[in-house]
Amino acid sequence: MNSCFTYFKKNKKKTSIMFAIIILAVFSISFIYSLILSVYDTSKSANVAPFDKFSILISENDTVFDDDTQKIIDSDSSVRAFTTVTDIKTIFGTTSSYVIFPAEYDDINILVNRLGIKVSEGRMPDKNTDEIIMHTNVMKNKKKKIGDKISDYTIVGAFEGDIELSLGTMESAKLKEYSSSVSTYIISPSSRDELSSINSTLSKINDKKIELHTYDKQLKSLNDEFSSIKSVLFIIVLLVAVCIVIAVAALVFIMYSGRYEEFAIINALGYNKSFIKTLIFKEMLFAASISWFLGVTISWLSSVLVNKFIYSAMGQSMKIFNVNSLLISIVLPVMVIFFSVYPTNHKLSKTDLISIIERR
């Protein structure tokens, strides 16, 4: 008896149309999902990842905390006062990269050590100057090089690593002006465990004018921003999947309708309907799995190319292998199998195959 590959092997034209539709749909879903998730990844690298090594405490009280807050801050030597933290927007609207300007010049070295930053090109900023060092990805993203100016600041050095941010010094008068409006504290202990312990202490501060930014809070905020994008994306994926599934299911239904004489003779030769239904299921499982695999592979290759030739040059992050895009792309073959096999087998159950041979 024929295997589940025989029909596809022998009917290359019909097979290629069906395979092409599924491959294209899987590729589109998987690739678009990867692209959109790359925006999320870039945002995460810029906005959330740095908070793995420090937290930020922002006060609108002109550095004047109430007694209880001051006690909490004073109780921990890791809480240091750095001002000011500003940010530079990257090319995507929702992603931004932090620039930290410590109030005391010596603090910049402490921070560099704590964050494990090693300047790979150029030098550290000088005291009382408008100079910054930047992560190479941020530099690429802003299309800048050492010696260029960004806003009023001259880029004097570049570094690589996990933490995508910039560190700088300000001319003293400007620094004083910034420091008077908002006070920002960088909490950067030497170990991650210590950071979570300090975070839990600081979270007890009950002052609406004081904001604590931790890794979890930043991640939650990012996820909240992206939740609507993800929902819209899921709806789009679902709509695309439904449209493709209708097209493929109709094609499969017509394809199998043309094979009823084959099924009738198989049935007459002593194979029951369950055998034929299983054969149909196996055929569709094979077709959907192979198409899905090819679609995902093409999407993966496209991601590699986009990352290499477009994203890297822009300093943009892109996860080549993304579990979410892989999982969402599985929706399509599963729906194709279900909505193709169910109506085909349902019709087969209702059809008297022997009457096809009898010609009654």
7 touching other proteins, by CB under 8 A: yes
Round to whole Å and give the CA distance between 297 and 299: 5
Structure-token pair, residue 230: 């993800």
Residue with smaller CB distance to other proteins, 76 or 262: 262
Q: Which of 243, 265, 304, 327 binds other proteins (CB under 8 A)?
A: 265
Q: How far apart are the first and last CA of the chain?
A: 27
Provide, rounded to whole angstroms, the least separation between the CB of residue 309 and other proteins. Answer: 43
296 touching other proteins, by CB under 8 A: no
Provide, rounded to whole angstroms, the least separation between the CB of residue 283 and other proteins. Answer: 13
261 touching other proteins, by CB under 8 A: yes
2 touching other proteins, by CB under 8 A: yes
| Per-residue contact flags (x/-) with other proteins for residues 320 to 359, judged by CB under 8 A | ----------------------------------x--xxx
268 touching other proteins, by CB under 8 A: yes
Residue with smaller CB distance to other proteins, 255 or 332: 255
Q: Is 194 helix (H, G, I), strand (E, B) or coil?
A: helix
Q: Compute the C-alpha angle 284/286/287, nearest 5°.
A: 65
11 touching other proteins, by CB under 8 A: yes
13 touching other proteins, by CB under 8 A: no
Find out whether 43 and 94 touch, Cβ atoms under 8 Å. Answer: yes
Where do the H-state alpha helices sit in the chain?
Answer: 6-10, 12-43, 67-74, 105-115, 136-141, 172-181, 192-202, 215-257, 260-268, 273-306, 312-314, 323-350, 353-358
Residue with smaller CB distance to other proteins, 6 or 172: 6
Q: Which residues of 323-354 are buried (b: 16+ CB within 10 A; e: fewer)?
A: ebbbebbebbbebbbebbbeebbeebeebebe
Q: Which of 271, 281, 286, 338 binds other proteins (CB under 8 A)?
A: 271
Structure-token pair, residue 147: 């010696």
16 touching other proteins, by CB under 8 A: no
* Contact residues: other proteins, CB under 8 A: 1-2, 6-7, 10-11, 261-262, 264-266, 268-272, 354, 357-359
